[in-house]
Amino acid sequence: MDTTHEERPHRKARLWGGIDLGGTKIEAVVVDAAGKVLGRSRQPTPEDGAPGDVVQAMYGALEEAARVAGTLSRHLVGVGVGAPGAVDAGAGTLARVSNVGKGWMEPYPMAGDLADLVRSRVVLGNDVQVAVAAEFRLGAGRPYGSVLGVWWGTGVGGGIVLNGNPWRGRGAAGEVGHMVVKPGGARCGCGRRGCMEAYAGRASLERKARKAVRRGEKTHLFDWMQKRGRTRLTSSVWMRALEEKDVLATRLIDRAVRMLGAGVASAINLLDVDAVILGGGLGTRLGPVYADRIHEAMRPHIFVPERQPPVLVAELGELSGAIGAALLAEPAMK
């Protein structure tokens, strides 16, 4: 568990909680009305957990973040959750989740179950959409009017802000990871073929690495995973492998960058936004060097190359999703 804090708030301060639910970790924060983080906590996502187990882990992370901030979760004005999958904010349900716990397809009443534990209002939002909204308001997106967020982690998610307003479409806008970059290509976790996520998502990268090892290819990826006490190939493991020039890791990440370049460029050709913000576990861990590589991989596919937008790393880093979730709980925060 990783916790930090800055200062303890006045006992009557209005505070909000934010939870970023990811495939490998749960990040929770407590923020004040300016969006300043007063407490944070990180816990691993239950690998084999049912939805109820995941909610309990989310509650545990939020309680720890509240303790660091000098309060309790039941004293928070509201709690926001950024989650992958199909979010129905009105009903407070989450469905079609493939990378969290055991995964589930049917709508699960996550907001209601968590609200019963924290005894406060809980609002759900798409994990990447809320993270991109936070970056637009408080981070790398501040100078721009329109941005595309690409969150490169367990999967590949996206979020869009157009002329200062989040664009959610009918609820599924921004799913850049499911743009098809190779018709009939690799099987994606969504069940379809050729999605960008099937080549770039960390879960797909790990499946390909394990398959390569079974074929007899050599790699130190899984040795480093075990030395770090992990059961999955986390972003830090991939970073170590790239630093050590592991052949298999390098090949898989190179292909991921090519596919990201093609897919993101196609999104730019449609939306023509001012900037691309790169976030997520792999995006923030690999940082500016790989943001530049993705920018270069986009170049051959950009319709107006002289106006190609920059690719910027998320300034709020790994906390962008949790901070964005907290902002979702209280949109009037200033």
In order of their start, the domains of the chain are: 2-131+319-329 (3.30.420.40), 143-315 (3.30.420.40)
Looking at the chain, the number of H-run helices and the number of E-run strands are 10, 13
Nearest to 69 by CA among 2, 1, 3, 5: 5
Q: Which residues contact 210 (CB under 8 A, 6 or more apart)?
A: none
The pLDDT assigned to 331 comes to: 65
CA distance 253 to 318: 20
The pLDDT assigned to 189 comes to: 85
How does DSSP classify residue 171? T
- Is it the case that residue 302 has pLDDT exceeding 70? yes
**Residue 304 falls in which region: left (phi positive, over 0), alpha (psi -120 to 50) or beta:** beta
The pLDDT assigned to 131 comes to: 95
Residue 15 near residue 72, CB atoms below 8 Å: no
Between vectors from CA 86 to CA 279 and to CA 327, what angle results, nearest 5°? 55
How does DSSP classify residue 304? S
pLDDT tens profile 55-88: 999 999 999 999 999 999 999 999 999 998 888 9
CA distance 290 to 296: 10
- Is it the case that residue 12 has pLDDT exceeding 90? no
The pLDDT assigned to 333 comes to: 55
- Is it the case that residue 5 has pLDDT exceeding 50? no
In the Cβ-directed half-sphere of 9, how many Cα atoms lie within 13 Å?
A: 25
pLDDT tens profile 242-258: 999 999 999 999 999 99
How does DSSP classify residue 190? T
Total residues belonging to the chain: 334
CA distance 15 to 118: 13
CA distance 157 to 177: 5
Q: What is the mean pLDDT of residues 219-239?
A: 94
The pTM (predicted TM-score) of the whole model is: 0.85
Distance spanning both ends of the chain, measured CA to CA:
30
Widest pairwise Cα distance in the chain? 61
Helix intervals (H) in the chain? 51-68, 110-118, 127-138, 197-200, 202-214, 221-227, 235-243, 247-271, 280-298, 320-329
Q: Of 93-102, 168-177, 256-265, which has the strongest mean pLDDT?
A: 256-265
